[in-house]
Amino acid sequence: MEWLQIITLALLQGITEFLPISSSAHLILPAQLTDWPDQGLAFDVAVHMGTLLAVCSYFRVELTQYASGSLSALRDRSINPAFEEVLKLGLATLPVVICGFLLQDWIAASLRSVEVIAYTTIFFGVLLALADRRHGSIATVSLTVALLIGLAQALALIPGTSRSGITMTAALWLGLSRTEAARFSFLLSIPTIAGAALLTGIELTEQTAPVQWGELALGLCVAGGSAYLCINAFIRLVERTGMMPYVYYRLILGAVLLFIASGS
């Protein structure tokens, strides 16, 4: 790949993975507007690992507490607050794992068109706007709320939905504050991204193409750096900006994708 393609795709992955604007809606644009070659599975794994390292680095204090609390809970055979958070994240991850296992092949064959991505980008953008009007001030996630957010996350298997967008939509609809909705959404991304990278990595082992380590390292660093900056800025600013800037952006992006689909 050319350096411009590597940097562009890595930036798109790093930024759109955590903003509620749909990474699939953006990653389809270079394929439609350029003659760049397919980046390949190895590059997909690299940029996903970059975003995973970014979110783990940002929440390193919480993750350390979760690990320590889980070990203490197993040793003492009791549930402490840190272990309860781990249970919430695990519970919220189950729906996307089950739905992904059952529906992955059908979604890949039926729902990856530009037109589908355009309509889902617009539709779930409107839902995000409605949810933002309902946001509350709840700063803790219960097990029931975690499960409901997890069920919503399963919808992110549909291209154009946005994993972060749909989880924040559900969280806001259930009365969480914007900051807590973003925090839980980003923490929930850790097992989801790790699982996706693992599955892609397993698929990669079946290929025999040579590995371009320089390209992968650059992609990982660019995706990771941009993702970390994005997470930091979003959480600091979301209470002031709200979700409407992202809603307007989604509506414009969806319209652009519909225009592209109509001409193809």
Confidence at residue 264, expressed as pLDDT on a 0 to 100 scale: 64
Which pLDDT belongs to residue 51?
Answer: 95
Backbone angles phi, psi at 176, to 5 degrees: -75, 155
- Closest by alpha carbon to 176, among 142, 148, 139, 151? 139
Q: Tell me the pLDDT of the chain (264 aa) as tens digits.
A: 788 999 999 999 999 999 999 887 887 778 777 788 777 778 888 999 999 999 999 999 999 999 999 999 999 999 999 999 999 999 999 999 999 999 988 988 888 888 999 999 999 999 999 999 989 889 899 999 999 999 999 999 999 999 999 999 999 999 999 999 999 999 999 999 999 888 888 877 777 777 788 889 999 999 999 999 999 999 999 999 999 999 999 999 999 999 988 876
- DSSP alpha helix (H) spans, the chain: 3-16, 23-33, 40-58, 60-76, 81-110, 114-133, 143-153, 163-173, 178-204, 213-241, 244-263
| Residue 1 pLDDT | 73
Q: What is the reported pTM?
A: 0.93
Residue 222 confidence (pLDDT): 97
Nearest one of 1, 238, 161 to 10, comparing CA atoms: 1
